[in-house]
Structure 1
Amino acid sequence: MFTRIFRKPKKEAPSVTTVNKLNETLKMLEKKENVLVKKAAAEVEKAKEFSSAKNKRAAIQCLKRKRLYEQQIEQLANFQLRIHDQMIMLEGAKATTETIDALRTGASAMKAMQKSTNINDVDKTMDEINEQIENMKQIQEALSSPIGAAADFDEDELEAELEELEGAELEEQLLQPSTKTTAPAPAAQVHVPPGRRPTRRASVKPIDEEDELAALTAELAL
């Protein structure tokens, strides 16, 4: 517990420490520059006063000191420019280093993933997926298959029964009499499973031609 409380702070990176040091130096140079600017302005005011008092020698001395201050101001400006240049270079180097570290980390992670993933394992996984899909298809087919009494129906017999019904319906439409005289419809055939069909099929009474002709004559007379 005490080690957690009194743990030493982590050391900052060298680039961060350097940038902080340059910032401190830059602020110090700016302060000195401001002081020199004020001193140069003060010497100008003194030179004006001495000039007004006809003290030419003292005025010239003030201007000389002003020139010295201006030289120092220019020198400090050059120092600040170099520090700014150094900071820009450090920031660029830091960005480059961080980019390289990130790329290196990504490459290491990708390499580790490739080691943990074998091509044989991928093929095995795909085979297992295909096998599961095939098993699911078989399960779906088994569930969709008819069970119980429906499984005993013969598809061929059902199709034959459907053809008989369609043929009877077509025959009924062809033999349909006029609207006034209606003939009895042919009896629908009843499907009987094999082994239970009677030896004789239900006979359909044919339509009398004379009745049909009489009904046609009556319709024409109207």
Structure 2
Amino acid sequence: MFTRIFGKPKQETNALATLDKLNETLEMLEKKEKVLLKKAATEVERAKEFTRAKNKRAAIQCLKRKRLYEQQIEQLGNFQLRIHDQMIMLEGAKATTETVDALRTGAAAMKAMQKATNIDDVDKTMDEINEQTENMKQIQEALSTPIGAAADFDEDELEAELEELEGAELEEQLLQPATTAPAAPVRVPAGRQPAKKVEDDDDELAELQREMAL
């Protein structure tokens, strides 16, 4: 937020400007390297042509120029390596600086918060909370205390009366007669039939004999 209002810090601005300059230089060296590579390849082709034409001296001159181009290419490669190394170191230093700035800002914020929150204020607040809690506890106890006629009841007398009721209930249960069990059904042996059943059988037999006689 502060960066947007007041702009970037001077150190960060210088680091970014340096990185931009290094990038521009690196691009310039790469372009030169491509040109030299093309020139070296051209000299190789010309040396081949002079060789086919039996012009040995001209072919050797082409190869010499090719060697010079290759030396420049190698030098440009070293320059590029140095620039890459410088860029890496600068980016690392930039990250370190940003980290330190962030830590410094955080420490300042914590210090400001500690000043705003005094230990005496914290103790005072805790004392007020404890006092309010104790007052609320006393209010709840006062509301739960019985008043009026209920306050005159003797708890011991109520306990004794309850024990008498329990003893009377137990005595009444012991004096009640035992419940008679229902009579078991009479089972007739398999070999014997009731009297009524025998009479019915005799009547049927007599009726059958009369029908046969007819």
Shorter-chain TM-score tier: 0.7 to 0.9
Corresponding residue number in structure 1 for 2:86: 86
Partner of 2:44: 44
| Structural RMSD (CA) | 2.5
Q: Given the superposition, is the C-alpha separation of residues 180 and 51 from structure 1 closer, same or farther in structure 2, using an over 3 Å criterion?
A: closer
Q: Report the residue type matching 2:114 in the other structure.
A: Q
Aligned equivalent of 1:209: none
| 1:149 positional shift | 5.3
Q: What amino acid does structure 2 have at the position aligned with 1:75?
A: Q
Q: Tell me, what secondary structure is at the counterpart of 1:179? A: coil
2: CA distance between counterparts of 1:126 and 1:148? 38
Distance 1:105 1:9, change over 3 A: closer
Q: Which structure has more helix as a fraction of its residues?
A: 2
| SS of match in other structure, 2:178 | coil
Cα deviation for residue 163 of structure 1 reads 1.9
Structure 1's 9 and 91: CA in aligned 2 closer, same or farther, altered over 3 A?
Answer: closer
Residue aligning to 1:23: 23
Q: Alpha-carbon deviation of 1:64?
A: 1.0
Deviation string, structure 1 residues 127-165 (Cα, Å, up to 9, x no partner)? 112122222322333343445654454433322321221
Name the amino acid aligned to 1:116. Answer: A
Measure the CA separation in 2 of the matches of 1:75 and 1:126.
74
Residue aligning to 1:99: 99
CA–CA separation in structure 1 for the residues paired with 2:15 and 2:160: 93
The two structures have a TM-score, normalised by structure 1, of 0.70
1:98 is displaced (CA, Å) by: 0.9
Matched-pair identity in %: 84
Equivalences for residues 132-211 of structure 1 within 5 A:
132-146=132-146, 150-174=150-174, 176-179=175-178
Q: What are the superposed Cα offsets for residues 180-200 of structure 1, whole Å, 9 maximum, x if unpaired?
A: 69xxxxxxxxxxxxxxxxxxx
Gaps of 5+ in 1: 1-7, 182-222
2:58 equivalent in structure 1: 58
3-state SS of 1:13 partner? helix
- Partner of 2:77, secondary structure, is helix
CA change 1:167–1:70 in 2 (3 A) is same
1:118 to 2:135 alignment: no
How far, CA to CA, are the matches of 2:167 and 2:46 in structure 1?
132
- CA 1:53–1:160 in 2, change beyond 3 Å: closer, same or farther? same
Structure 1 window deviating more from structure 2 (12-21 vs 73-82): it is 12-21
Distance in 1 of aligned mates of 2:49 and 2:112: 81
Q: In structure 1, what is the Cα distance between the partners aligned to 2:45 and 2:58?
A: 12
* Whole-Å separation in 1 of the counterparts to 2:58 and 2:43: 10
Q: How many aligned residue pairs are there?
A: 174
Counterpart CA distance in 2 for 1:9 and 1:53 is: 68
Deviation at 1:172, TM superposition (A): 2.3
CA distance change for structure 1 residues 180 and 50 in 2, over 3 Å: closer, same or farther?
closer
